[in-house]
Each structure stands twice: as structure tokens, then as C-alpha cells.
Chains A and B, each alone.
Chain A
């Protein structure tokens, strides 16, 4: 179970990185970033997985006694929430940048933005 999730997470990160490095279109680069982030989020959730654990909510199923043996780790789940929101913010700002860059040069090709050198 974890192995599949881990491989998925790492693969998504690497695919995202490949996209960031290989695509020249800024929008596609941003998509690459989203993939990268998603992979990260998968990893975070996987880290908290406990074999046989259930959601860390103390409802009628889990009860309030001996909780620790029944649930998965809640910490990564809290972290992933924050990570997702941060990723969202970054993506939104990158898109705003993409819009502005397009306005400036009527191009979304990243290799058109190489004015400052050395």
C-alpha cells in the first residue's frame, strides 16, 4: 500500500520536474509545478499511513479509548492541508505572473524572457 503511494508520489514529483525543465510554455511549466506539488502531497499523506489505521476522528467507530492503536497519524494530514493551501497560493501568483508576462511580450515562451544576463 505505502509502496504504491510512495512510487506515485515520487513519480509525480519527477514528472512535474521534467515538465518544468522541458516545456517552454509558461502555463505548462506551471502545470508542471502543480504536478510536483501533488506528488509532494501524496508523499506527505503516505508518511502518516499506519497499517490498518482509520481516519483520526474520534467518532463512534474509534471511540475514545486506546485510540492510538486504531488511527493513522493525524500530523501529516494537518501538514498536507497547509501544504495544499501554500501550493494554491503559489500557483495563483504564478498565473498572475504568466498573465503579466504575456501582456509584456505577447509570448508565453520562457526563452523570450532572457534580458538580464551575466
Chain B
């Protein structure tokens, strides 16, 4: 009782701080100067119709590098954290996977994969991008795992995809310093025609690497959890 009261008091205290933010929030009818710059100059400077993408990949590309790193980091940690004294026994499952999932997975996995690739390749044109595409690809693996709990993801391939796409991302960034304005500059490739798939310089390339990397990292994390799950059952 006292504990609950105390917790509520703490939550209420934090709420009181939020109230100040809330009352001062005000209306907004115009963009910040920063956003206005992106809106007005983004198309010319970066050449991608999707302004969010131009910010994510180019203007704030450095954040994206951090994000990719976080996933990579978590994948690495989870792999050495959960791998210890792994038993790897195949245990009898309590019941068969249902027919619906089995069929659906066969049908859907290729389509989902293609969708993921589509989303990251078109990241500079339409809503979506490397992270979204990568996450979609990873869902295909989730589906596979659910359909077939013994399914073994080939770690070797995954880590090669993961590493190669990561290195390529960094390399494209470095080319930006050498050939264009700075680290992660997309103008290492020509900007091309605005609105076409091969445009916006290196953005589709970078987003493809990001998509592959995110997809493989998420799958990697998943497969590590799968490994330990067997141990627990």
C-alpha cells in the first residue's frame, strides 16, 4: 500500500514536470527554419523526394551510422551473452505447428522478402527505407521460425551479409570525404533525375546496405534467442 502510494507520488511528480512542457507547447503553423531549409533546398541538395530519407541518410547520416551500430552491437552482445554453455539439444515439441502457419510461411516468406527489398530500394521515393525494409525482411525469418522451430538460420551467411553491408556503408561514407563534400555525402554518385529509382546519388545504395544489414542483424538476434529457447524447454 505504502509502496503503491509512493510509486504514484513519483509518477505524479514526473507528470507535474510534463505539465510545464504541455502548457508551453503552443500551436505550430510554420516550420522551423531548419525544416524550412530542408523543404526548400532538400530536393536540390540531396535529390530525394522523401525528405525524411534525405535527412536520415544524408543530413543526419551520422545518426544512422549510430543506429546501425546499435543493432550490430546488440547482435554481437547477444551472441556472446547467450552462446555460453549452449546445449543445442533437439527437444520434442509438444505439438505440431499448425497447418495454416506452415502453408502461409511457404507462401508468404518470398513475398515478404521481396516487399522488404522493395521498401528499402524505394526509400528515397516513397515512405520507407533501410530500417523499415530490414525489419520486414526479419519478419520473414520470424515466420520461418514459427513455422519450423528447428529451422537453422545459417549464421555464416548472415554474418557475411551483415559485415559486408556494414563495411560497404562505411566505405561509401569515406568515399564521400574523398570524392564529395564530406563523410556520408550522397553525391559520390550523380544525383540523376529527380523522382527516379536511380537518383538521389548514393542514397539507394546506402539504404540497400542498411536494409540488408538491419535484416541480417535482426535475424541474427532472433536466432540467438532461438538457441537459448531450446535450452530452456
Contact = CB atoms under 8 A, between A and B. Distances in A.
Do A and B touch directly, given a CB cutoff of 8 Å in the complex? Answer: yes
Q: How large is the interface on A (under 10, 10 to 19, 20 to 34, 35 or more residues)?
A: 35 or more
Interface stretch (B73-81, B154-162, B164-172): B73-81
Interface of B: 3-4, 7-8, 10-11, 14-15, 18, 22, 25, 27-32, 34-36, 38-40, 42-43, 49-52, 55-56, 60, 63-64, 66-67, 70-71, 73-74, 77-78, 81-82, 125-127, 129, 131, 194-195, 214, 221, 224-225, 228, 231-232
A57 B70 contact: no
B31 A50 contact: yes
B74 A89 contact: yes
B192 to A, nearest CB: 15
A75 B64 contact: no
B156 to A, nearest CB: 21
Contacts of A74: 35, 38-39, 51-52, 55
Given A55-B127, A88-B71, 12 more contacts: A50-B30, A56-B52, A57-B51, A71-B31, A73-B31, A73-B32, A78-B60, A79-B63, A81-B131, A96-B82, A100-B81, A102-B232
A93 B81 CA distance: 10
B36 A68 contact: yes
A93 B74 contact: yes
Nearest to B59: A78
A54 B52 CA distance: 13
A49 B77 CA distance: 37
Interface in A62-94: 64, 67-69, 71, 73-75, 77-79, 81-82, 84-86, 88-89, 92-93
